[in-house]
Chain A
Amino acid sequence: MRKFFTLFVEYNTWLLFVLYCSIAFLFIRLQQNDVQASLHNEGIEFSAAVNEQLMKFNSLFTLKNENERLMRVNTDLLSRVLNLETATVDERNQNKILADTTRNASGFIMARVVDRKFSDRENMLVIDAGWRKGIKKEMTVLVPEGLVGRVTSVSENYARVMPVIHPDFKVIVVADSCSSMGILSWSGGKEFIAQVEHIPISSHLKLNERLVTSDFSTFSIRGIPVGRVVRIKPDNLFYDVDVRLAVDFSTLTQVLVAPLKIEPEKIRIMSNDTTTIKKRAHNFQTPAL
């Protein structure tokens, strides 16, 4: 017994170290636990609230640039409205044959970016809208210029957004004119260049072609601009395509959050295993593309 206590006293630093590491591992293991999740949410709430105040202070210095950017956006929107008015007449004639799958696109929620991190530790945005404003996981985040990302976690007043420039982010895109489809992802390097895979070399994709989100995406509504093709290199079967992203992530201040796209029937039909899919559709945990 005495030997045991001697051993205990002798190696107390190691025992303390092991104890702390065990607690840390326990927390990592219980990452999905309710208590841990609430702590996580409280962390986001506190961190975002402080950052919001810091950003407010910082925004005073960027007012001039912000005004100029808004003027550019207004000009762009005005030209789009004029184009759309002319297109509406043509559209009316086509409505009978085209199925409208963007019904859920109404009711965008506006939010402000209160925190933005792009480092080796974290790559995410925090917006000042949470479940109180109707934000849910997997909602699409965008700006008039294009796609920003998707919501990955939500607290009461804030939400965390995984941007397009995150290695885990993937979205199905379609070319504007030739309708070639591919999967857009960002694999590091320059923050304004992303890659598109699975575009067959038989397609007629051209340089400077605009890419938009496809209706095939499980989370994003269709037609959101993503970027323009800046490099096409043919590989064995598919093109190796580089895309210059439409959104400048360094200047994001206001964003829009699109309503959740719920298509359990579509997800069900895409898979053979209906039971798994029912569960996935219910939890909205399908791998988002």
Chain B
Amino acid sequence: MTKKIYISIIFLCIISLLQVFGMSRITLFNVSADAVTIFLAYIAVTTEQNTNTSFGFAAGVLEGLLTGNMGLHMLARTVGSFIAGYFHTPKESHTTIKQNSKRFYGAVIVAGLCANAILSATGNPLGFSPAYRIVVFGLLESFFNLILAIIVNWLFLRQSLAN
């Protein structure tokens, strides 16, 4: 378990760097997919809510350090992870891969929407109304996240979610 957490921390660092310096540049309709949300959703499904919330907080700290806006990212990631924690599958629940995948996608959408709502509520870099930013950009980002999550799940996570 401890080994798994250490590996997850290393992955979190790599994914945060990838998100800030790589993926945030690939935008479609001014919105980019969020790899950190997908990773946190995976952590939410596979670990307990406490661990997951801490991972969310750590992701916020990392992103804050890299972008310069620490408090806001900490809050957005913590809230997103905490809510995604409700999609956790207990080990003894004997769920199928399909059920776990569904939970994973649900966590991706909910965590993305929450983080986006918090980040959108405080800054307005493109001059859109708050409702537009939260609803349209939030839904669009969640949609992109979902597509990325489906690809990632299909390529890498299926075995892990099955276990």
CB-contact partner of B68 in A12, A17, A29, A43, under 8 A: A43
Q: Is the beta-carbon distance between B82 and A43 smaller than 8 angstroms?
A: no
Residues of B within 8 A of A123 (CB): 125-126
CB nearest to B17 among chain A residues? A50
Minimum C-beta distance from B5 to chain A (A): 16
A42 to B30, CA, bound (A): 27
CB nearest to B74 among chain A residues? A24
Chain B's interface: helix, strand, loop or mixed, by majority? helix
Q: Is the beta-carbon distance between A16 and B70 smaller than 8 angstroms?
A: no
A36 to B53, CA, bound (A): 23
Q: Is the beta-carbon distance between B71 and A20 smaller than 8 angstroms?
A: no
Q: Is the beta-carbon distance between A167 and B126 smaller than 8 angstroms?
A: yes
CB-contact partner of A186 in B53, B72, B127, B141, under 8 A: B127
> If the complex has contacts A16-B54, A36-B70, A54-B21, are A24 and B27 also in contact, measured as CB distance less than 8 A?
no
CB nearest to A47 among chain B residues? B66
Report how many A-B pairs have Cβ atoms within 8 Å.
114
CB-contact partner of A27 in B30, B67, B74, under 8 A: B74
Chain A's interface: helix, strand, loop or mixed, by majority? helix
Minimum C-beta distance from A267 to chain B (A): 27
Binds B, one of A112-120, A205-213, A230-238: A112-120
Asked if A44 CB lies within 8 Å of chain B CBs, one says: yes
Asked if B142 CB lies within 8 Å of chain A CBs, one says: no
> If the complex has contacts A119-B24, A119-B32, are A43 and B67 also in contact, measured as CB distance less than 8 A?
yes
Interface string of B108-127 (1 = CB under 8 A from A): 00000000000110011111
Q: How many residues of A contact B (CB 8 A)?
A: 41
Contact residues of B between 116 and 162, Cβ < 8 Å to A = 119-120, 123-128, 133, 137, 141
> If the complex has contacts A27-B74, A119-B27, are A13 and B50 also in contact, measured as CB distance less than 8 A?
yes
Q: Is the beta-carbon distance between B20 and A122 smaller than 8 angstroms?
A: no
How big is the B interface, by class? 35 or more
Asked if B78 CB lies within 8 Å of chain A CBs, one says: yes
> If the complex has contacts A27-B64, A47-B67, are A119 and B30 also in contact, measured as CB distance less than 8 A?
yes
Asked if A51 CB lies within 8 Å of chain B CBs, one says: yes
Q: Is the beta-carbon distance between B72 and A28 smaller than 8 angstroms?
A: yes
Q: Is the beta-carbon distance between B125 and A122 smaller than 8 angstroms?
A: yes
Q: Is the beta-carbon distance between B127 and A187 smaller than 8 angstroms?
A: yes
CB-contact partner of B49 in A13, A20, A21, A29, under 8 A: A13
Contact residues of B between 70 and 126, Cβ < 8 Å to A = 70-72, 74-75, 78-79, 82, 85, 119-120, 123-126
22 A-B pairs whose Cβ atoms sit less than 8 Å apart in the complex: A13-B50, A13-B82, A16-B54, A17-B53, A20-B53, A20-B74, A23-B74, A24-B74, A25-B75, A26-B71, A28-B75, A43-B68, A43-B70, A44-B68, A47-B66, A117-B25, A118-B126, A119-B31, A119-B126, A120-B31, A120-B126, A120-B128
Q: Closest 5 A-B residue pairs measured CB to CB?
A: A27-B71, A188-B127, A28-B71, A123-B125, A167-B127
Query: Besides A20-B74, A39-B70, 19 other CB < 8 A contacts?
Result: A13-B85, A20-B78, A21-B79, A23-B74, A24-B71, A24-B72, A25-B71, A39-B68, A42-B65, A44-B68, A46-B65, A47-B21, A47-B66, A47-B67, A117-B25, A119-B32, A120-B31, A122-B123, A167-B125
Mark A residues whose CB is within 8 Å of B: 12-13, 16-17, 20-21, 23-31, 36, 39-44, 46-47, 50-51, 54, 117-124, 166-167, 186-189
